[in-house]
Structure 1
């Protein structure tokens, strides 16, 4: 089992970070998916002559008009298609994902999330317009569409293998990131909030039963039921969350300029280290900004076009423009609001200097932890439950580990402000050494993102420090974000099963999906699941990006015909790619 986890870690590390274990395979530690994703997005954006920017305002009008059907073909309105796509996009990535990006890549990761979203709007336009153009109606009158169908109908039968890879990736991604991680996040957040605010101990299986029951009630009706529920819940949940974030930002308005300054400085590796906070390199910001950006808005991954293919519209281009607004809402609006809350809220926050030193020691290879031991097993963070007992039990072992790090050459100068003296660096290390055996020795920091808390708890702590009972904002938002993600991804998985097996498998799949949702709620360790989800996301994105590149001529032809004043908004379903 341990070797399997190691393999998953290595594969995920290569895809997203260009590394295999401790070996840097791609200079700069930028994974191949990031290169292909940004490269394809830039290519499509140029070929579309910046359409997502030029047509942004008209696209907003099309979203509003999409509340009513824009054609006879399809199963749900364009508005419901957008809401269904957003239900899959807006999830834990908008809360925990943003915090993870900042914790791992620094505040500058947010800038690269914006870049991913901007180019992602071009990808969303391309993939969703293709999904409408090449969708099929089966013998039951059901609309089927998405990357597997535009691969099949646009590229031909010889590309069937690519469609199969995409569908398998969709099923894996749906199970890992679209279901189990979402239900687990709801369960863990509910348990922690109930315990911390009301002293209640809720069983994870009980929460799992409730989630599974609610999911079943929605998905048993298929896409029409999912679209109807998503069309009502998604706008309300997004609006309510943005309103709460605005309240926090108004209360901390004086910190907003600082937040934007630290984002842009950190994005290019220019952020100075202050107050003992760890420094972040530009490559880390790029890596985690792109990875979490894709996890959040899914542009180029190929999931959202499955929902947009079901829209009642006769114009693929119009639906493509509606799709690109979904990326904007998800990342530029909701993720940015979360990031600004995290970066502006100040308070009495702390971090363990021992954990800082230990992390740097391990990352730079000055010492190796005993097999089966994690850094936080010896060096608990300032927010680890039961940290006093851990320090008392393993303090001597932790102290000896740090002393060996020092003997092997560890220096903490990079964690101090520029120009610090050797004496100041020694004093900083001595404090870290003291913290390894004394749980009361901690460093005070101003902002929540400078703490050593688990990334999943950073957003909740920010709201908790800003508003009375603010933790509940995150708990309630996470429930609705994650719940709608589960029902949205159930449809994506269902479409993949339909393509691979047939229409008959959709009903059994719905029952299996509910069981998977319950399983996610009772999982106790999701680290490997997150990594597996990253691999599954990539297995969707790569074949989809290949198809977008191969069919870019079709996209450009639709884009040009739609802008032709002699045609207005024609039906372009029969557009063929330009002859080479």
Structure 2
């Protein structure tokens, strides 16, 4: 297992190198400038769309704008925001948060372009049903000669969509918060029991298809974000005296890299910190990876720009809001300096510090819902990739493979799982970003037409 762990870690480091950083961040900046900062100019309009002001039940698609966003958010607002932020701070210190913010701001434009393309170039699966996502906008927008890029995305998506990191961290949370603290012995047996419970609940939802997934997500996600927001405000309220100090430290440490304990990148600690922040930011909001366009591509709309505007709210909600809340909770309580805990256990320590007795249990409730909703959405992404590769009639076979992988996630190490998903996310980003950059001028033309129509 140690050898496999090392191989996966080396593989993840190899793909997350300078070329991918240039593609994600350089490409995102190019899209931001090309759109003339549209994501920030049209936030108010995006919220109006989300509230259903422009919904038309006769438009093509399967789910509403709101359901598309909550389905995408149920995947991104999950362990990346709670455990992923904790991993970033434990390795990089407060400065890592700043580079996660940079990733999110640039990611808003990337999400806008990729999700607009997902509606512009929807394709039909082998059953004749309308589908969206990078594999479809590559083949429909760039032509059949680009199909190898779409196949690459779909093959990597089969692994990238696996729930192993979410399950790993949920299992760790249940073990640390619920079992160990109550004197119950934990090990392979307890992890397998947790795994089988998750298998049962996940199977119940995902075997019902997209409609059941989107309805479940649209009920669970908003309630959990509000509860989590309230809990973190309590943590910050208890430690209000040190809050300004840590907000300043996020900015100063982002360039000093004094708390960074990872590997140097481009010859320096600052380079390593920037890469860590971008990597954890991409893991949190998935901008440029290509997962969210699969959910937004199913939205009931005939206006591509409209869906792109809804999609761009994703990175703002999950990284700029939820990740920042988690980061501040960990920083103000001081647990990042006083414990060797990592991942979700570090976040739980922060909640226990501020709300002794009850804090960690309330966090466990949030974690459970965030993780479960992520499990449902990722299953949908995996079936989309499977359907593209092998035909719509075979796509549901992926669910059985997916369900079995839950047991793998429950019984393996955090490092192995996070490196595995990191590596395949990186490989998914390559075809997504290359195709998006090539077709970006077409989206810009669509933007001009949409703005003219609005006026």
TM-score, length-normalised on structure 2? 0.93
Change (3 A) 1:172 1:245: same
Counterpart CA distance in 2 for 1:131 and 1:467 is 44
The match for 1:82 is: 69
**Number of corresponding residues:** 444
- Asked if the contact 2:93/2:259 (under 8 Å) is kept, the reply is no
d(CA) in 2 for partners of 1:72, 1:141: 17
For residue 311 of structure 1, give the secondary structure of its aligned residue in structure 2: coil
Taking the TM superposition and a 5 Å limit, the aligned residue runs for 1:114-193 are 114-138=101-125, 140=127, 142-175=129-162, 179-193=163-177
- How much has 1:533 moved relative to structure 2? 1.5
The reply to whether residue 50 of structure 1 matches residue 37 of structure 2 is: yes
* Cα distance between partner residues in 2 of 1:340 and 1:184: 24
The question of whether the paired residues in 2 share the 8 Å contact of 1:248 and 1:467 is answered with yes
- The equivalent of 1:253 in structure 2 is 240
Residue deviations 1:213-234, cap 9 Å, x none?
A: 1111111111111001001001
Q: 1:159 to 1:137 in 2, by over 3 A?
A: closer
2:454 corresponds to: 568
Range with bigger deviation, 186-195 or 479-488: 186-195
Distance 1:134 1:60 in 2: 24
Whether the aligned pair in 2 keeps the contact of 1:105 and 1:287 (CA below 8 Å) is no
Partner of 1:7: 7
Give the helix-richer structure, 1 or 2. 2
8 Å contact from structure 2 (residues 168, 417) kept in 1? no
- Per-residue CA distance 1:359-392 (angstroms, 9 max, x = gap): xxxxxxxxxxxxxxxxxxxxxxxxxxxxxxxxxx
Give the structure 1 partner of residue 364 of structure 2: 475
Q: Which moved more, 1:76-85 or 1:506-515?
A: 506-515
Tell me: CA distance 1:8–1:201, structure 2 relative to 1, closer, same or farther (3 Å): closer
The yes-or-no answer on 1:72 pairing with 2:56 is no
Partner of 2:49: 62
Match of residue 524 from structure 1: 412
Distance 1:245 1:69 in 2: 37
Please give the alpha-carbon distance, in whole angstroms, between the structure 1 residues aligned to 2:46 and 2:199. Answer: 36
Give secondary structure in 2 for the equivalent of 1:302.
coil
Report what 1:198 is aligned to: 182
* Structure 1 residue 491 displacement after superposition: 0.6
Aligned mates of 1:227, 1:243 — CA distance in 2 = 25
Write out per-residue CA displacement over residues 544-572 of structure 1, whole angstroms, 9 at most, x where no aligned residue: 000111111111111111111xx228xxx
**Which is higher, the Rg of structure 1 or of structure 2?**
1
Give the match for residue 554 of structure 1: 442
1:415-454 to structure 2, matched below 5 A, reads 447-454=334-341
Q: How does 1:379-390 map to 2 (within 5 A)?
A: none
Aligned equivalents of 2:377, 2:432: Cα separation in 1: 19
Report the more deviating stretch, 102-111 or 160-169: 102-111
* Structure-2 separation of matches of 1:66 and 1:332: 25
Q: TM-score, normalised by structure 1?
A: 0.73
User: Given the alignment of the two structures, is residue 308 of structure 1 paired with residue 296 of structure 2, yes or no?
Assistant: yes
Shift, 1:69, TM fit? 4.7
CA distance in structure 2 between the partners assigned to 1:15 and 1:174 by the alignment: 18
Match for residue 466 of structure 1? 354
The equivalent residue for 2:432 is: 544
Q: Which structure ranks higher in relative contact order (CA pairs < 8 Å, sequence separation ≥ 6)?
A: 2
- Give 3-state SS (helix, strand or coil) of 1:514's partner: helix
- Runs of at least 5 residues in structure 2 that lack an aligned partner in the other structure: none
Q: 195, 216, 229: which is aligned to 1:242?
A: 229
From 390, 393, 397, the equivalent of 1:504 is 393
